[in-house]
Structure 1
Amino acid sequence: MMNNLFSIFDPSTNIFNFSINWMSSFLGLLFIPFSFWLIPNRHFILWNNIIKKLHNEFKILLNFDNNKGSTFIFISLFSFILFNNFLGLFPYIFTSTSHLSISLTLSLSMWLTFMLFGWINNSKHMFIHMIPQGTPSILMPFMVLIETISNIIRPGTLAIRLTANMIAGHLLLTLLSNTGNIMSTYLLVFLIITQIILLMLESAVAIIQSYVITILSTLYSSETN
């Protein structure tokens, strides 16, 4: 019996005194052997087409001629977040992306890398980017302050966006499922249909959030070039 509603998001939940919840982040590795088959199956062909589409889209956002191979970083980020979001929809699988310890680690590490690369290699461009073109001289100090604050909070907004969306959907599904014991048969059928619709919505959210996080990270990276 669940003592606390938020215990489903508690990473300290254990089985036989072994805290194995965070092992769910590595379940995506089980999908890798499909790419080594001599005759690719339909799943691999579908996933390969998705990667090609993402690669072509990221090339438009990035200066691919000077940063060849940089798109694979963001494709890997998309794959990791997508796998963890989807695996969290299955029963008894811990959703690691619903915790700031994972989402903030991803966003903060990438943001620090972008900032170090930009300020070391393109310092002049980074200073120019802090003041939009056409800004009056009297407003320049305020614009520098505003741009600095908006730049600092970027990793936090990325992490909170992913975490909040993952928690909200799982929490709603849990709240509705806990009311099934006190419902009549007719209402229970309606509840099951509602749960299926919400599960389909959560599947769409899992895809959209992984895509949004990756696109925003790509845009932040393009600003340092």
Structure 2
Amino acid sequence: MDDRFTIVDSIEGKVAAFTGEHVGEPRLVIALYAPDAVHVDFKFVSLPDAAIRVDDTKVLWEQDTLLTDTFKTTESKYPQPDPQWIEDRFWIWTHYAATKIARGEYFEALEFLSFIRIVVLSPLALKQANLTPSGVRKIETRLPEFSKKLEQTVARPEKIELTLAVKQCITFYLELREREDIQKNIDAQEICTRYFEDETHQ
């Protein structure tokens, strides 16, 4: 870890690099190389940590067979969305959106919509389609019909558009929830949707 920038800098053409705290991964170094603007992600991990991975990784170079042997000890596993975890939070998130719209904090409400697409709607839709639930990455080509639906959750920073977009998020979530085996919090759903209606129609 102490030598990670020395290693990154030693490769010819480096013009910029930084660590990945913004995605919760300080072991990651994101770098850019000239002359063709090549983006390279470097992740510095110990051998035991390398066994925990989200996809099958091709080994291009290793000492002896150390990395290959480590990979054989576990299977790659992409993190799956937890539908119950989402249900336990979704209605309070809806309440949050209502307060932001009612207060005129429209850009904050826009961030909420993006968050719901990335953390709730797209992962659940991808999971239910037996696809890797990687947020909204390539959702346009992976789930084109669902992608068209997501367009209805995009808004400008205006009260009416934001209200309609949040309502669509609720509608799509309810559709997705019906395909999950969870304990529904109907009380929270009712009180928060009623609150949303009251706050956004004043």
Q: Which has the higher contact order (CA 8 A, sep 6+)?
A: 1
> Shorter-chain TM-score: which interval?
under 0.3
TM-score (norm 2): 0.23
TM-score (norm 1): 0.21
